[in-house]
Amino acid sequence: MKTNANNATADADTTTTDANTTTADPALLATPAALAAFGRTRAAVKIYGALTVAALLAVIAVASTGHMVNPFMWIRAILLPLIAVLLHRLALSASQGSRRAFERLRGISAVFPVAIVGVDLIPGVCPWWYAAVQALCVLPVIGIALTTRGTALRAAFPKTR
């Protein structure tokens, strides 16, 4: 009987812990290191957005001069700046303490560059210059991936499980 009471207490503690971990500790978010990390993240998102808009303008310029631009290039060139909006929203929510946004930002920033470069390396999908532009565009996202895995933000969003 005593074991069941201990298990019930442990279950209640787990539920309380999980409910309290949807946001980060405000004191940990306000540390100079965390503020600097989120500043770097916001800057990287802005750079990514600017680079993807420049890539879209390059596709428009190439198409307007009569050169071949395939549908993949158009779709990718239009979608990638929209991803900047998503990254911005996630970074903003994470900086305000949202664990869910932080975890999504971490995941997307790790997978996204690999997916972009990986697809561009498939022969015949896009010209070499477009693949190079896309690789340049994801460099700031790699910076986000590294920053979100740094000690300052890991401390602000500690693992609960």
The 8-class DSSP code of residue 159 comes to: -
The residue assigned the tokens 């060139």 is: 77
Q: Give the confidence band of 154 by pLDDT, cuts at 50, 70, 90.
A: confident
Q: What are 23's strand-pairing partners?
A: 98
The candidate with the shortest Cα–Cα distance to 104, out of 92, 119, 116, 115, is 92
What average pLDDT score do residues 77-99 get? Answer: 95
Q: Give the confidence band of 21 by pLDDT, cuts at 50, 70, 90.
A: low
Q: Is the pLDDT of residue 4 over 60?
A: no
Q: At what angle do helices 99-120 and 128-148 cross, to 10 degrees?
A: 150
Q: How far apart are CA 55 and CA 82, in angstroms?
A: 13
